A and B are shown apart, each in its own frame.
Chain A
Amino acid sequence: MSGSENILEIENLRVHFPVKGGVFRRAVGSCKAVDGVSLNLKEGQTLGLVGESGCGKSTLAKAVVGLVKPTTGSVRFRGKEVLRSGRKSLQEYRRVAQMVFQDPAESLNPRQTVSAIVQEPLEIHNFGKKSERNERVCKLLEQVGLPASSGMRYPFEFSGGQRQRIGIARSLALNPDMLLLDEPVSALDVSVQSQVLNLLMELQNELGLSYLLIAHDLAVVKHVSDMIAVMYLGKIVEIAPAQELYSNPLHDYTKALISAIPVPDPSHSRKKIIIPGDVPSPINPPPGCAFGHRVSSARYPESIGKTLRMEEIEASHWVLSCPCCIN
C-alpha cells in the first residue's frame, strides 16, 4: 500500500482508553477504540471511511489531527511524523490538516459572529493584518456560497446546510491541504445534503484538497470517494477502490453493509443479508474475529488465537484475512 504521492500515512495506529474502576479509580481494563489501523491517503484524493457507530471512525479522525493521543502507531504527513514532533511542527501540521465536524450547530460558538468564527484560525496562526483578515473572511464566505454580509450574523440565524458551509469556510481559512470530514452531511436533509456534497467536490477540484471522509451513508461515500475503507470494531476489514468495493466486496461484513442500504426504487428486490445482533463492546471484544462472533459463523473457532493481517487479494484491494468471513 505504498506510493510516493501519499499525503497521509497512518501506520498501525492504536487508541486505547483506560477503563477505570474500584475505589481508587485505577485502570481495570481498556477500551480498544482504534486497534491497529493502517491507511494511506493519496494527494488530491478522497478516502472514505465507513462503519457502524461505535466502530472507532471518529476516534481515528481525532487521533489523526492530534485531538486524542494515540497509544501506539504513527501518523505521517508528507513523510514526516506528526504526532511525536515538537510544538512548532505540530502547529504547522494543524494548519494544513483541518477538520469539519458532524453537527454544525454544536461545533460553532453560538456567541461569536460568523466572521469571528471564520477569523479565529487566522488569528491563532498570525495571518496578516486585520484588514487582510477581514478580506480573507469575505472571500471564504463567498467561496462556500454565503453572502459576504453573513459575517455580521450569528450561527443561529442560519439553517443547517448554511451552518455546515460556515464550518467548511472556517476549515479552509488557513489554506489547508487536507480536510478531515467527520460525518459532514449526516445532520442535513437530502436536498441540502447534495448541495454540501457538491460544494465539497467543487472545492476539491479547485484547491486540490485531499479528503478523509467519515460517514455511515454508503451511497454518499461511494459517490465522492476514490478509495473506501470499511471499519469494524476498531479494525479495518477491507480497503478497495470505490467502484471495486461495491461490485466485488470480499469481506462478509462489507457484503452485509452494502446489502443493508435501502434502495430508493420500489421495483428493486434486493437480497438482504440481515446481520443479527450489534457491534460487540470494544472493552471486552470476543477472542477471535469480532464479526464471525456476531453472526455466529460456523468457522468462528478457527479465528481464535490467529493474528489477522491485511492481504492484497487484487490490485489495491485489501482485506482482513479472517478464515470465517472470507470465502
Chain B
Amino acid sequence: MTSDTRTDSLLRVKNLSVSFSSDEGELEALDAVDFDIKHGQTLGLVGESGCGKSVTALSVMRLLPRPIGKINGGSIYFEGKDLLKLTSDEMRQVRGNEIGMIFQEPMNALNPVMSIGDQVCESFQLHQDISPQEAWQKSIEMLEQVGIPAPENRVFEFPHQLSGGMRQRIVIAIALACKPKLVIADEPTTALDVTVQSQILDLLQSLREKIDSSVLLITHDLGVIAETCDEVCVMYAGRIVERASTRDLFANPRHAYTRGLLSSIPRLDGDPKTKLAAIEGMVPSISELSRGCRFAARSGSHHSREVLEERPPYIEISPNHWVEACPVCTDP
C-alpha cells in the first residue's frame, strides 16, 4: 500500500487485529483493520452492532478490557509514535490530553457522585500544570463553550440533575477540555432525540473547527455520516469492506454490503408503504466467521469455495476508493 509514505496522517491504524478470549476459544473481533485520519479530517466508521466499531475505538485508546481483549498484530501510529509501544504512564498522558473520547451513553460516562465542575476540572488538573482555582475557572469557560446556560451555577450540580442532551454536552466538554488533536466520538448521539442530535452534531462540528482537531466518528446512522464526515469506512464482521470519500461512497458504493445498507434506510422522499430493501439474514456470530468473504451468506449470490476460504484482497478500485474485492460482492 502506498499510503505508508503519507506524512499528513494524524492517526494511522495498520493491520490491526484484536481478539477476545472466551469459553469458545479466541474470538476474532478485528481482522487486519487498516485506515488513517488526516489532520483536520472527520472520518466516519459505520456498521451494524457487533461489527467491531467500538473495539476499534477502544484499541486506539488502549482501553480494551483486560485480560480478555488482546491486540494480536498491527500498529497504531499517532503523530508518528506507535501507541502500542507506549508504557501505561505515557499512554495516560495521551488519553484525554492528545486524544479525547466521547462515549455513547452520557449517564454511564459521567460519575454520578461527583459534581460536574469537578469532573471537567479533573482533565485540566491531570494534564496541565495549573492551580485548582485556574482549573475551576477554565472548567466554567469550557461549559460555556459547549452551550451550558449559567455555567457558574451548573458546576455545582450533579449528572442526574441534567437532561440527556445537557449530559452529552458535559461529556464533550470533558473530552475537549485539553484541546486534543484527535477526538473519538463513539455513537455520540445514538441515545438522544433527533432535535437534540442536531444540536450536538452542530456543536461538535463548530468546536472541531475552533480547536482544529480531527474526529473519528463512530455511528450506525448513515444520515449522520452524510452530514458530518469527509471520509467513511464501512465495517462488517471485524473488517473494513469499503472506504471512500463520503460523496463517492454514497454515489458509487462498490461493495454489496454498502449497497444493502444504503438501500435499506427508509427515506423521506421514498414511496410510502412499499417493500423496503432489506439485507436478508443477520450479522454472522463472532464465533463462526469464515476466512473468506464474510458477507457471502447474506449476499444472496453463490460464492465459490475458494472465495469462502481465502480473504479477498483490499484494493484501491479507483483513486482513494478502497474496497474488499470479493469477486461476487464487489462491483468491478
**Interface residues, chain A, with chain B CB atoms under 8 Å away:** 52-53, 159-162, 189-195, 197-198, 201, 216-220, 222-225, 242-243, 246, 256-268, 272, 274-276, 278
Contact = CB atoms under 8 A, between A and B. Distances in A.
Contacts of B164: 53, 278
Interface string B75-114: 0000000000000000000000000000000000000000
B221 interface: yes
Nearest to A265: B226
Nearest to A262: B223
Interface string B44-67: 000011000000000000000000
Identify the 8 closest CB pairs spanning chains A and B, nearest first: A262-B223, A191-B279, A194-B276, A194-B278, A189-B48, A223-B266, A52-B193, A194-B264
A264 B193 contact: no
Contacts of A195: 278-280
B227 A263 contact: yes
A110 B137 CA distance: 51
Interface stretch (B152-160, B173-181, B194-202, B314-322): B194-202
A160 B283 CA distance: 11
B263 to A, nearest CB: 9
B267 interface: yes
A263 B226 CA distance: 7
A194 B277 contact: yes
Given A201-B275, A263-B268, A274-B202, 11 more contacts: A52-B195, A189-B283, A190-B48, A190-B261, A194-B264, A198-B278, A223-B272, A262-B201, A266-B250, A267-B251, A278-B165
Contacts of B224: 262
Contacts of B25: none
Contacts of B302: none
A268 B250 CA distance: 11
B247 interface: yes
Contact of A278 (B48, B166, B251, B278): B166
A224 B165 CA distance: 29
5 contacts: A161-B282, A223-B272, A257-B195, A274-B198, A275-B199
B266 A219 contact: yes
Contacts of A261: 194, 223, 268
Given A194-B278, A201-B275, A266-B246, A219 B195 contact: no
Contact of A263 (B193, B220, B223, B260): B223
Given A190-B264, A263-B226, A272-B198, A223 B270 contact: yes
Interface residues of B, number: 46
B251 to A, nearest CB: 8
A66 B265 CA distance: 34
B305 interface: no
Given A257-B194, A262-B226, A223 B276 contact: yes
B71 interface: no
A197 B276 CA distance: 8
Contacts of A161: 282
B273 interface: yes
A81 B247 CA distance: 55
Nearest to A258: B268
A272 B227 CA distance: 11
Contacts of A218: 194, 268
User: Which of A197, A265, A275 has the most chain B CB within a 10 Å cutoff?
Assistant: A265
